Amino acid sequence: MEARAMSPTSRVEAPSLVRSRIGIAAGLCAAAFSVIAARLVEVMVFGAGLAASLDAAPSVNPMRADLVDRNGALIARDLPVSDLYAFPGVFWDTKEAARELAKATRADEARLNAAFEPKRGYVMVQRGLTPDMRDAVMSLGFPGLTFEKAYKRYYPSGRIVAHAVGQVDPDDNGISGLELGLNEVVRGGSDPVQLSLDMRVQYVLEHEIEEAAHEFQTKASGGIVLNVHTGEVLALASLPDYEPNLRTHATSDSTRNRMTQDVYELGSIFKIFAFAEAVEEKTIRLDEYLDVGHPYRLGRYLIHDFERLGPYLPASMVFAESSNIGTAQIALRSGPARQRPFLENLGLLQPLKTELPEVAAPLFPRRWGEVEGATIAYGQGISVNPLGFAAAAASVVNGGTAKLTGMEFGYQQFLSFLPRPLDGLGVEASYTRVWQDSSFTTGTPAP
C-alpha cells in the first residue's frame, strides 16, 4: 500500500483553520454574554424585566373624594400608598427574597414562596405600603421590584360611625355603608362630599349606647338621632362595631348594622301609629274612657297588660300608660282594612330607601285580620328595622309630613344621609302629607 505524504503547505494551513474556528466560537460566546449582561443591567437598574408583564399590572383607580360631616370634620380620606410587585425570575434566591420581603411588608411568607418558586410572571407582593415600609423594601436591594401608585382609604375616627360610613375594598371601591351607597358620587371626585352626620352627636350617641349595653348586659345595641323636620340622619350607631381601617376583624367585632340590616318586633313604641291613625280618622276622643280593667277577648285570644292599670282609662292615658288592652280597642275602631294602608303610607311595609344600601325588608302577616290588626297596634306581629321606624315616627311627630329627598339618586325618600336645608333658607322644600286624611297629597308643610 502506498502512503501519501502531507505537503508542507497543508501542515501550515491546518493550525490556521483551527485558530480561526476557535476565534469565531469565542466571539459568539462573548456576544451572547454581552447580551445577557446588558439584559441583567437593564432589569436591575431600570426594572425593564417587568415589561413583558406590565399588561398584568392593575390600573390605578382614581382617588375617592373626602367624606366630611355637616361641620366639615373629616370622616374618610384617601392617602397615597404604594403597591409592591416583583419579577422573581431575576432573584438569585427566591426563599431569601420571600423571607425578607415578608418581614418588610408584613406579607405572608408562605404565599410569596409559592408565588416566587416558578420564577416567572408578575407577582403582587403587598398592597398599601406606607412610606416607611417602602423605604424598608428599598434598603433590601433586591432586583426586579417595582412600586405602583395606589391609594388607601383612611378613617381617622376608627370605630366611630363605622357602620354608617362602611368600607372600601383593596381596589378602593365601596363595599358597604355610605362608601357603597355614594360610590358613584365619591369615586373620582375632587370636592369633599358632605354628609348629614354630626360627629359631635355621634360621639355622644355611641357613648350612651355603650353605657346602656354595659348596664343591661346586652349582646348588641344601637341608636339613631334624626332631625324630624328635614329627615337628616345626625347619628347612627350599632354595637358591636368594628375597625374600618383593618381588613381583618376580631371575633367580637361585627360589620352588621343592626339599625338597618335587622328587623324587630318593636313592641310598645309602635303604639304611636295606632293613636296617630285614631286621631287622623277621628275614631276616638282623647278624653273618652276605655275599659282596661280585665283582659280583652278577641276570638279565642286574650290581650293582657303588663300590670293592672285600673278599671278605666281615658284614651290619652291609654297611650301614656302603654296599655295593650286599650290600644287594641282603639285600633279595631279603624279596623285592619284601614290600618294596613295607613302603615303603608308611612313607609313601614316596604324597605326604606336611603343612601345606605343595607336595609332589611319588613316582615308582616299576609292575612291581616282583626287579631293581626290588634297585635300590630301594640307592636307585635310586625317586624321593621329601627331606621325605618324612626322615619315613620318622624312623619308623625313633625306634623304629619315627609320631606322628599334623594331625587338625584332616582328615588323618593324621607330620610337622608346628605344635608338638607330647612325651609326659608332659599331652597324650595317638597313635602308629602302622610297621615292627614290618610292620603298622600303633595303640597306645603302641614300646619
Catalytic residues: 268
Q: For residue 11, give the amino acid letter.
A: R
Cα-based angle 176, 182, 184 (whole degrees, multiple of 5): 115
Q: Rounded distance, CA 181 to CA 166, Å? A: 9
Q: Rounded distance, CA 429 to CA 447, Å? A: 15
Q: Rounded distance, CA 434 to CA 400, Å? A: 6
Tally Cβ neighbours within 10 Å of residue 344: 12
Comparing CA positions, the residue from 430, 401, 406 lying closest to residue 418 is 406
Return the HEC string of 152-189: EEECCCCCCCHHHHCCECCCCCECCHHHHHCHHHHECC
What residue has cell string 348588641? 220
Residues 6+ apart with CB under 8 A from 214: none
Query: CB pairs under 8 A, 24+ apart, for 98-107?
Result: 100/140, 100/142, 101/125, 101/126, 101/137, 101/140, 101/142, 104/133, 104/136, 104/137, 104/140, 105/129, 105/133, 105/136, 105/137, 106/133
Tally Cβ neighbours within 10 Å of residue 313: 22
- Strand 301-303 relative to strand 193-194: parallel, antiparallel, unpaired? unpaired
Q: Rounded distance, CA 334 to CA 54, Å? A: 70
Comparing CA positions, the residue from 130, 107, 137, 124 lying closest to residue 53 is 124
Tally Cβ neighbours within 10 Å of residue 358: 17
